[in-house]
Structure 1
Amino acid sequence: METAKNKHLTIGMDEDIPFGQAVLLGLQHVLAMDVYVPPFIIATAVAMTSSDASGLIQSTFLGAGIASLIQVLFFLKLPVCQGPSFVPVGAIIGIYFGAKGMDTVLGASIVGALAVILLGFTGIYKYIVRHFIPTIVSGTIIMIVGLTLLPTAFSSNIYPATETLSANQNMLLAAITAAILILFSMLGDYFPGLGKYFRISSVIIALVIGTVIASFMGGVDFQSVADAPLFSLPRLAFVNYGIHFDVSAILTMLVIYMVLLAETTGTWYAVSSVIEEPVTDEQINKGVIGEGLGCLVAAMVGTTPVTGYSTNAGIISITGVASKKVFVMASCWFILLSFIGKLSALIHAVPSSVIGGVFAVVCVIILLSGFRVIKNQEFSERELYIIGVPLIIAIGLLFMPTEIKESAPQFLQYLLDSPIALSAIAAIVMNKLIPEKKMHQ
């Protein structure tokens, strides 16, 4: 049995762990990933009925589970889960309204997924990564991923008041949950025996304790769990939706998929950095094929494109567990949740501020993982600009007023909604445009 070579890991990537432990650790990845948010945003924006919205969320769980198994077991073979990408949300809403329905969204998604698969089979993307994404760029992209996700923890999870919890209570819950997460994670460093198990389970311990505290505040409503059906089916393509191909929607989605690949490449490097295992050219090629197949499956089961989640890299760093068996179990949880309504409702009952407390810590870990990648680079003025300017662009896009975005052409709006992609492109372009200083003998 291979043991963890990385001193930061408790359990290595190819190390086996007991089934029960893998099930528990897989669940904490599922809880922390917050995958229901993109379909919830889409369903709300296009005014889906309650049953259609529930069906889309269940389809998203099913797509995420199958796509994750495809990547972990057969293609990328890294400890990472697939989930619905935030990148295409704006484009999907636009296509839905412009083409009247999910049929056209799914048709465009299928064509885009096939294009991604072709890109992997031809090896073109491997060439792009090797020549355009060196260490300085990949580390910057990882930092950007953490930086751009962090405000979401506050704006979407922590600050908004709910019917049962005020903004002040939400902030208190988030702070308590984050503190519990850090406490139990650090116990593994100070107490190598029992503390190791606390570190491994730190995410789920924080979520459970945070939810219990929230229930004492009156912030947890289990009525939705009681009302949810025990068994229900997701909405599927060819069963609940038709498939329609529209040229404009397809062209839009092709661009979105290229942006999505930039996002998922950052995730691969983030995971690679945490487990201290380099991503090979062959893995990148296979990962792109797996990404395309995962997105194709997602479209076939009636949901939106999926991507690797950087959240997993943060959780691996916190818990020290990188075993791929955990991610297989997480995939199985997703598939199970897609059919069992009460389990989905139970996860949805965890207060958003509790999830936000965990998510904020995870985002910072991702950001610092990027810094760890580039810390050994020589920092001349050239490198400072390559790192700094994309960070400026990312922050600028995060705080760009809505009216400015809406005044841009529709095609450009899709890109402005993706600070990760535009900042990554800026880092790549600057690395190529700014000449390296020649060393004089």
Structure 2
Amino acid sequence: MEQVEKKGIMYDVEDVPKVGHWLTLSIQHLFAMFGATVLVPFLVGLSPAVALISSGLGTLAYLLITKGKIPAYLGSSFAFISPILAAKASSGPGSAMIGCFVAGLVYGLVALIIYKAGLNWLMNILPPVVVGPVIMVIGLSLAPTAVNMAMYINPNTDQQIYSITNITIALITLIVTIIGNIYFKGFFGLIPILIGITVGYICSILAGIVNFEPIREANWFQVPEFMVPFATYTPTFSWGVIAIMVPVAIVTLSEHIGHQMVLSKVVGRNFLEKPGLHRSIAGDGAGILIGSIIGGPPLTSYGENIGVLTMTKAYSVYIIGGAAVTAIIFGFVGKISAVISSIPSAVMGGISILLFGIIASSGLRMLVDNKIDFDKKRNLMIASVILVLGIGGAFLKLSDEVSLSGMALSAIVGILLNLILPGREKVSGDMFES
């Protein structure tokens, strides 16, 4: 540890922390991911408790597959919200889980190809000029969901009723989260989402719109509502759902690579080379497979937890593993699940306004960081078509069963335009160095 301490690192990747530090730092990682991880299942109608369990199991599988070399926590992916909602609407929740399972298989296939052929081929298919606008589409296409939750009673039904109480609570939640994000320091600066939800929940209690009955009735230990194929439902395969899920999985792979590059710089190791990006992608895919088998949303590495690593300089995978085990335990605490389920939609709407906007802004940031030149006509054409097709909700109906939704269609069209239009710049291997 002496050499590690000289470098200013509290715990290096393989270090086993002291028990007190281990518990505290693991809980901090749990809080950092908690708000966003339970928000996704809340929005798509899945069990938040199952999402916590799947995030914990997925993270443990990730650590195992990456040989305990990468300190990354996997939480619920926002990119799959629209695909899951579309899949549930067209074919039911069981079909949506099968679609998520196929998305995990796509990760495994890409990991195998990267292991055999390297990485440049993927980045030539998914350059920033394609991925940036698609990420913007992911965020902006969810904007009506956030606004409806903030404004209406029963936002997901045909009987939407405008509520001044709801919009007030949503705005309070939003403002507190923004203030926390900008002004809070240290540990509190890492959990502005959780703080915003807490303040919004307290305001909801004062406004009398929280139902405490399910919390009182819930047991402390309670098995969550798992969705297990052939046990709780009969899985149905739908080419239409696959057509929705697979293009989004391809795009989120680019996000995964970006997180690995940032994480490599934070920790001071080249994770793309050792243990290798193929292992990292395979680990992420395994997390998605695990989640889909038990009824959880697809997983992804979390920027919030990378922020925790940056602040604490505690990179130990044992701390990440501790957070994963704690998340699994929380998933079986019925009172916690009941409290999460009792959070009014207005609170989640206020948080979603910010989070979905951040997703869209991160796509814009990708374009800026990579210095995409919109004086070049090909870049302007690609981005313009992706944005209008995706945000406009265009879809391509290939048959009675198969159709490409706006997000999937915009991603595919963007990839094709990038490959067809002249002037494409090939990616250099230098860009992957950390």
Q: Given the superposition, is the C-alpha separation of residues 225 and 333 from structure 1 closer, same or farther in structure 2, using an over 3 Å criterion? A: farther
Summarize the alignment of residues 417-432 of structure 1 with structure 2, pairs less than 5 Å apart. Answer: 419-432=406-419
Amino acid across the alignment from 2:409: L
CA RMSD of aligned residues (A): 4.3
Q: Given the superposition, is the C-alpha separation of residues 255 and 273 from structure 1 closer, same or farther in structure 2, using an over 3 Å criterion? A: same
CA–CA separation in structure 1 for the residues paired with 2:118 and 2:147? 35
Q: Any idea what the Cα deviations from partners look like across 1:191-229, whole Å, max 9, x if unmatched?
A: xxxx33442232222221121112111122222111112
Equivalent position of 2:420 in the other structure:
433
Q: Given the superposition, is the C-alpha separation of residues 319 and 256 from structure 1 closer, same or farther in structure 2, using an over 3 Å criterion? A: same
Whether 1:392 and 2:371 are equivalent positions in the alignment is no
Q: How many residues align?
A: 391
Q: For residue 339 of structure 1, report the CA deviation from its aligned partner.
A: 1.7
Equivalent position of 1:186 in the other structure:
182
* Contact in 2 for aligned 1:314/1:365 (Cα 8 Å): no
Alignment partner of 2:291 out of 293, 298, 303? 298
* Contact in 1 for aligned 2:108/2:282 (Cα 8 Å): yes
Amino acid across the alignment from 2:31: L
Whether 1:261 and 2:265 are equivalent positions in the alignment is no
Q: For residue 146 of structure 1, report the CA deviation from its aligned partner.
A: 2.5
Summarize the alignment of residues 223-238 of structure 1 with structure 2, pairs less than 5 Å apart. Answer: 223-234=213-224, 235=226, 237=228
Percent of residue pairs identical? 20
Q: For residue 147 of structure 1, report the CA deviation from its aligned partner.
A: 2.1
* Contact in 2 for aligned 1:274/1:369 (Cα 8 Å): no
CA–CA separation in structure 1 for the residues paired with 2:253 and 2:378? 23
Whether 1:121 and 2:112 are equivalent positions in the alignment is yes
CA–CA separation in structure 2 for the residues paired with 1:181 and 1:72? 31
| Deviates most, 177-186 or 268-277 | 268-277
CA–CA separation in structure 2 for the residues paired with 1:332 and 1:388? 44
Whether 1:213 and 2:213 are equivalent positions in the alignment is no
Amino acid across the alignment from 1:196: G
Summarize the alignment of residues 322-401 of structure 1 with structure 2, pairs less than 5 Å apart. Answer: 328=321, 331-375=324-368, 376-380=371-375, 381-397=377-393
Q: For residue 162 of structure 1, report the CA deviation from its aligned partner.
A: 4.8
Alignment partner of 1:203 out of 162, 185, 193? 193
Equivalent position of 1:51 in the other structure:
none
Give TM-score, length-normalised by structure 1.
Answer: 0.71
* Contact in 1 for aligned 2:218/2:338 (Cα 8 Å): yes
Whether 1:62 and 2:58 are equivalent positions in the alignment is no
* Unmatched tracts of structure 2, length 5 or more: 156-160, 426-434
Tell me the SS of whatever aligns to 2:76: strand
Q: For residue 37 of structure 1, report the CA deviation from its aligned partner.
A: 3.1
Alignment partner of 2:279 out of 264, 286, 302? 286
CA–CA separation in structure 1 for the residues paired with 2:360 and 2:52? 27
Tell me the SS of whatever aligns to 1:220: coil
CA–CA separation in structure 2 for the residues paired with 1:225 and 1:293? 33
CA–CA separation in structure 2 for the residues paired with 1:2 and 1:384? 49
Equivalent position of 1:53 in the other structure:
none
Amino acid across the alignment from 1:212: I
Equivalent position of 1:308 in the other structure:
300
CA–CA separation in structure 1 for the residues paired with 2:287 and 2:100? 11
* Contact in 2 for aligned 1:39/1:57 (Cα 8 Å): no
Amino acid across the alignment from 1:40: G
Q: Given the superposition, is the C-alpha separation of residues 270 and 148 from structure 1 closer, same or farther in structure 2, using an over 3 Å criterion? A: farther
CA–CA separation in structure 2 for the residues paired with 1:299 and 1:355? 24
Equivalent position of 1:29 in the other structure:
33
CA–CA separation in structure 2 for the residues paired with 1:140 and 1:204? 29
* Unmatched tracts of structure 1, length 5 or more: 6-10, 42-55, 189-194
* Contact in 2 for aligned 1:232/1:339 (Cα 8 Å): yes
Give TM-score, length-normalised by structure 2.
Answer: 0.72
* Contact in 1 for aligned 2:260/2:271 (Cα 8 Å): yes
